[in-house]
Amino acid sequence: MVSLKDDSKMKVVTSPHWKRTLYFLLFALSFTIFIAILYEEELTHIIKPSPWHEFEEFEFENFNQQEEQEEQEEDILVQAVEKDVVIKPFAVGETEKECDVFEGRWEYDEAARALYGEAECPYIQPKVMCQANGRRDKQYLHWRWKPHWCSLPSFNATFMLEMLRNKRVMFVGDHIHRGQFVSMICLLQSAIPQSFQSFETVKPKSIFRASNYNMTIEFYYSPFLLESNREHRSQRFLREKIIRTGSIDKHARHWRGVDILLLNTYTWWLQPRGKIKILKGSFEGDKRKNKIKEMKTEDAYKLAMNELVKWVEENFDPHKTRVFFTSISPSHELSEEWGGEAKGNCYNETTPILDNPTYWGVGSRKGFMRVIQQVLSKSKVPIEVLNVTQLSEYRKDGHLSIYKKHERELAPRDLANPRSYADCHNWCLPGVQDTWNELLYSKLFFP
The answer to whether 184 contacts ligand NAG (rule: CB under 6 A) is no
The answer to whether 214 contacts ligand NAG (rule: CB under 6 A) is yes
**Residues 83-112, mask of contacts with ligand NAG (x by CB under 6 A):** -------------------x----------
Total Cβ atoms within 10 A of residue 121: 19
Distances (CA, A) of 38 to 27, 121, 129, 393, 438: 15, 43, 47, 35, 26
The answer to whether 369 contacts ligand NAG (rule: CB under 6 A) is yes
The answer to whether 162 contacts ligand NAG (rule: CB under 6 A) is yes
Whether residue 157 has a cis bond before it, omega within 30° of 0? no
Task: Please state, in angstroms and rounded to a whole number, the distance separating the CA atoms of residues 71 and 64.
Answer: 14
- Please choose, out of 1-9, 24-32, 44-52, 367-375, the segment that lies near ligand NAG by the rule CB under 6 A: 367-375
Q: How far is the CB of 50 from ligand NAG (least distance, A)?
A: 19
Total Cβ atoms within 10 A of residue 98: 9
The answer to whether 45 contacts ligand NAG (rule: CB under 6 A) is no
Q: How far is the CB of 340 from ligand NAG (least distance, A)?
A: 10
DSSP string over 134-172: T----GGGGEEEEETTS-PPPP-HHHHHHHTTT-EEEEE
The answer to whether 79 contacts ligand NAG (rule: CB under 6 A) is no
Among 66, 201, 212, 373, binds ligand NAG (CB under 6 A): 373
Three-state secondary structure call for residue 27: helix
The answer to whether 123 contacts ligand NAG (rule: CB under 6 A) is no
Among 206, 265, 297, 327, binds ligand NAG (CB under 6 A): 327
Half-sphere exposure at residue 210, Cβ-oriented, CA atoms within 13 angstroms: 26
The answer to whether 168 contacts ligand NAG (rule: CB under 6 A) is yes
The answer to whether 392 contacts ligand NAG (rule: CB under 6 A) is no
Size of the site for ligand NAG (CB under 6 A): 18
Half-sphere exposure at residue 433, Cβ-oriented, CA atoms within 13 angstroms: 26
Instruction: Name the β-bridge partners of 144.
Output: 107
Contact at 8 Å (CB) between 85 and 42?
yes
Q: Identity (one letter) of the amino acid at 349?
A: E
Contact residues: ligand NAG, CB under 6 A:
102, 156, 158-159, 162, 166-168, 214, 327, 348, 369, 372-373, 385, 387, 389-390
